[in-house]
Structure 1
C-alpha cells in the first residue's frame, strides 16, 4: 500500500462518526443518518450492511450498501477543515473518486434514489 493510499484509508476510520458543524453531511458510524434527511437507501435485507474494500498500491475501491451517503464520505475526506490535506474529489457520474497524490479511492455506494415528497401532501 502506498503512503498516499494509507492516508486516505486511515482518513475513513478517523472520520467514522464525523459530522459537519453546519449540517451538510454526517457519517453516522456507517449505519445511520444523523441528519435524518428525506429519502431511503436500497434495502436488500442483510445485504444492506455489506462493505468491501479491495485494492493494492495506489488503487483502492470501497463498495457498500446502506449508510453513509457517498457524498458524505467524499465530504468527510475533502471538506475543510476536517478533510485529508491535499485530497480532492471527482464525481464521475457513476461513482465518486477521492485522490491524494498518486492514490485513488473509488467510492461505490449502492443507494436508491431519494424519494421526493409529493407537492400538496399533508
Structure 2
C-alpha cells in the first residue's frame, strides 16, 4: 500500500495520488525493513510521521489511510496501520531505536481511534494484491534509497540522479509516476530518476535484491517475476 502511495503521482497516477505521499521520496533516509515494521532512519522523522498520520488539523486523504500513532513515550515515532497491523517507525537514531524522550504533542490520530468513513472509502478502492505481489511491491518501498557502494547503480529516492555517472540520456526531475495493476500483474512507469536499469539492478542484486526474483527482458520493457507475480518496468510514462 505504501508503494501505491509513493509511486503514484501526476495526471496519469492510478491510486492514492491525493495523499501527496509521493513527496516522501524527497527526504533522505535509511530503510531498515523488519518483520511487519518498516524503520525509517532520518533527520526528518517528525516530518515523515506528519505526512503519514491523519489528524484533526488535516483531511483524512492527506496521509496514509488507516495509519495511527502508538502512544509510546519515546522520541521515535511508532505508527501502526489499523487494517493490516503493519508498523512504521521513524527515528533520528542510526540504530533504528528511540531515545526515551517524549515527542511533542500533536493532533494526530491515535491507535484507539477507529477507521473513518472517508478512510474506509479510500481503502475499499485499492486494487487486490496477491501475497507474491505484496512482497514484490514492498521490495520497491524498502529500496527507495538503496545504492551500490561501488557506484554502478543508485535509486536516489526516485528523484535524485546517481552521483558520478556519465550517461548519454538524462531523466526528468519531476514526479510523474504510475504504479498500476491488480492481482499478480503490475506495471511501473515514471519519467524521473532512477534509470530503469538501476531499479532492475537493485531488485535483482545477489545480496541487496529480492531473493528469487527473475529478470525477463522484453524489448524496452523489463519484467521482474517473483513467484506468481510480475512487475513490468516501463522506461517512461
Q: What's the TM-score once normalised by structure 1's chain length?
A: 0.81
Matched, 1:24 2:155: no
Q: CA RMSD in A?
A: 1.8
CA contact (8 A) 1:42 1:110 kept: no
1: CA distance between counterparts of 2:157 and 2:164?
Answer: 14
2: CA distance between counterparts of 1:3 and 1:42?
Answer: 32
1: CA distance between counterparts of 2:176 and 2:164?
Answer: 21
For each residue in 1:51-90, what CA deviation from the matched residue of structure 2 results, as whole angstroms up to 9, or x when unmatched?
0111010000011001000011111111010111110112
- Which residue in the other structure is 1:71 paired with? 197
Deviates more, 1:80-89 or 1:34-43: 34-43
Matched, 1:11 2:107: no
- Which residue in the other structure is 2:184 paired with? 58
- After superposing on structure 2, the runs of 4+ consecutive aligned residues of structure 1 that deviate more than 6 Å are none
1:26 CA drift (Å) = 0.4
1:42 CA drift (Å) = 4.8
Instruction: Say which SS state the counterpart of residue 71 (structure 1) adopts.
Output: helix
1:34 CA drift (Å) = 2.9
CA contact (8 A) 2:188 2:231 kept: yes
- Which residue in the other structure is 1:116 paired with? none
Q: What's the TM-score once normalised by structure 2's chain length?
A: 0.43
For each residue in 1:74-113, what CA deviation from the matched residue of structure 2 results, as whole angstroms up to 9, or x when unmatched?
11111010111110112212211100011000011229xx
CA contact (8 A) 1:59 1:105 kept: yes
* Runs of 5+ consecutive residues of structure 1 not aligned to the other structure: 112-122
- Which residue in the other structure is 1:41 paired with? 170
Deviates more, 1:83-92 or 1:99-108: 83-92
Decide which structure has the larger Cα Rg and report it: 2
For each residue in 1:28-50, what CA deviation from the matched residue of structure 2 results, as whole angstroms up to 9, or x when unmatched?
1101123332234254xx8x420
Instruction: Say which SS state the counterpart of residue 20 (structure 1) adopts.
Output: coil
